Chain A
Amino acid sequence: MAETEELLVVTYRGIFQEVEEALGIYSDSYREESAVLFLDGSDALGRKIEAGRPILLETSSGKVVVAAKISEEPHPGIAFMPRSPWSASLLPAEVGEGGLLQLKRFRARASPAGEAVTTIEEIGERIRVF
């Protein structure tokens, strides 16, 4: 897959993330469970993304840095991300034909990042200030 091609990101809820959410969204543990993207191995390779390293995700709605993880099963062109304030930062605000917001999937550019994973405090500040 070409380095610049957008990935289709599909969100989901995981048990460990739900547990950490209940224990407080401002914790490092919640960020570690939420600010991640599971990539297909070939998609990561084509973008020079390494497992565990920070990656920049960008859409027209915003951008965040999350940690890269490589899936064991192949799913080229598709990436999976826990539904969280990090994924919400990238979601489009347009509604579909059925009148619902699309909260489940979006297209995003992914590239290696030279900065640390975005904190929830930074996400909150971006929402309140901009």
Chain B
Amino acid sequence: MCDDIEAEFEGGKVKRTMNLCRKGRAHYDSLSIDRLTPAVGGSEVRGEEAVTAAGELLAGAECPLLLGFGRSTLEAQKLGIELAKKLGSVIDDPTSRQGLIMERILKGEVPTCTFDDVRNYADVSIYWGDDPSSSHPRHLSRFSYFPRGEKRQRGYEEDREAIVIDVRRSPTATIAADGFFQVSPGGDAAFAEALLAALGGKIPKVEDKKRMLNLATKLRKAKFGAIFTGPGLADAQDGDLGWFFSLVARLNEFTRFSVIPSLPDYNTRGLHQSLFDVAGAVSPVSFEDGIASGPKFGVTGLLESFDAVLVVGSDPVANLPAPLARKLARIPMVAVGTHRNLTTDAASVTVPTAMAGLEAGGSALRSDGVRVDLEAQVKSDRPTDLQIVEMLMEVV
């Protein structure tokens, strides 16, 4: 999703690049590694045959489930939602952990901002259960810590403060140095409670009271604060995040603090936005009987009742807890994607697609909601994910 990348290709392979992080370079190099091939029942077939078999499998199902779409373009996501409506099915992205925070942001109940606002104005960045140095390697250098901005001309040396709240000393915590606050696993709510007490001028119930009071003073005096939430925060209290929203509201009584979730896939935000526009909620959303949403409609609640699964650009078999992955693998499954993975290995039908931003164009939303237009950089015979969903719409 970085918009300043330059790359030269030779013979379909990467020859030279500029501005790519280590992770981005691997993404480019994967153009020629483990690419998915069209197959039905484990036998390789022509692409059109795989799409037809996929459509027949879905059309014959009484209760299909659509999974993934976080690595699909906005156009494919929107059509995927139409496909879910047409099939009367559920659409879910169970490995995306920040749906609750995203939903509150989209409803306007939690303040947010763009990465450009952060670069220009933020003097305090809090990374909570978030390690962007690993997950989004250019986050700190382009936006949140190192760069000079309109009101932050002296960068991290004098103008910016990084606070990391995490269970381990991550690479981001190492950069924050004295700004690292270690919490015990599941201890995030207690930390927030102590911070709330300190913000209110009370003595916090923590071992190092002075340090917590200093943190509260720093946050109260901030001119523009940003909070980046990671999976460590979303999972901290089994999805009960009332304590986090209370803290954000309290901070905003002193100064502006905006929340930007660090999302796992390049267009997870796009999926959340597209679902929210249609259903007023983020995944899982059920179109079985009108529109309904909530965890009980997704993989965790209803897996036993689904009789077909369409996975698009995701690997739930590798990421879901093994008992659920085993159940999922027993359901007739269509896997649409760019590369081979454990889900495509377990699928009855596999349909390969081009890689968006490299072999195909489209658009996506960054995790701060800014739209990015993606352009193809190399030619590919593979169809786009949008074209596959269009073909499935015709078949079903």
Contacts and interface: CB of A to CB of B under 8 A. Distances in A.
Contacts of A18: 23, 26, 134-135
B238 A96 contact: yes
Contact of B23 (A19, A102, A123): A19
Contact of B322 (A24, A62, A99, A120): A62
Contacts of A103: 95, 97, 231, 235, 319, 321
B134 A88 contact: no
B314 to A, nearest CB: 13
Contact of A15 (B34, B97, B134, B237): B134
A31 to B, nearest CB: 13
Nearest to A15: B134
Contact of A101 (B25, B100, B320): B320
B14 to A, nearest CB: 12
Interface residues of chain A: helix, strand, loop or mixed (majority): loop
B373 interface: no
Interface in A1-53: 8, 10, 12-15, 18-20, 22-26
Interface centre among B95, B100, B345 (most CB of A within 10 A): B345
A128 B240 contact: no
B326 A127 contact: yes
Interface in B220-273: 231-232, 234-241
A10 to B, nearest CB: 5
B238 A102 contact: yes
Contacts of B185: 8, 10, 78, 104-105
B201 interface: no
B27 interface: yes
Nearest to A19: B26
A102 B34 contact: no
B323 to A, nearest CB: 4
A19 B185 CA distance: 26
B170 interface: yes
Nearest to B26: A22
A14 B167 CA distance: 14
Nearest to A26: B34
A99 B97 CA distance: 11
A10 B168 contact: yes
A102 B133 contact: no
Interface string B362-393: 00000000000000000000000000000000
Contact of A13 (B30, B134, B323, B346): B134
Interface centre among B22, B239, B339 (most CB of A within 10 A): B239
A100 B25 CA distance: 33
A100 B321 contact: no
A72 to B, nearest CB: 9
Contacts of A120: 342
Contact of B22 (A19, A92, A101, A104): A19
B135 A13 contact: yes
A85 B238 contact: no
Given A13-B135, A128-B346, A100 B239 contact: yes
Given A12-B168, A24-B339, A128-B345, A98 B240 contact: yes
Contact of B321 (A8, A93, A105): A93
A22 B318 CA distance: 14
Contacts of B346: 124, 127-128
B305 interface: no
Contacts of B234: 100
B176 interface: no
A85 B168 contact: no
A105 B295 contact: no
B187 to A, nearest CB: 11
A91 B341 contact: no
B300 interface: yes
Nearest to B231: A104
Contacts of B241: 98
A90 to B, nearest CB: 7
A120 B345 CA distance: 12
Contacts of A61: 321-323
Contact of A88 (B27, B167, B237, B322): B322
A96 B131 CA distance: 24
A73 B340 CA distance: 37
Interface in A78-130: 78, 80, 83-85, 88-93, 95-105, 120, 123-124, 126-128, 130
- 3 A-B pairs with the lowest CB-CB distances in the bound complex, closest first: A96-B238, A98-B239, A99-B295
Given A15-B22, A61-B323, A105-B186, 15 more contacts: A12-B170, A22-B23, A23-B30, A25-B34, A25-B315, A62-B322, A80-B168, A96-B240, A99-B239, A100-B234, A101-B300, A103-B95, A103-B231, A104-B236, A127-B317
17 contacts: A13-B231, A15-B23, A18-B135, A19-B26, A23-B33, A73-B169, A98-B100, A98-B239, A100-B97, A100-B300, A102-B238, A103-B319, A104-B185, A104-B232, A104-B235, A126-B322, A130-B326
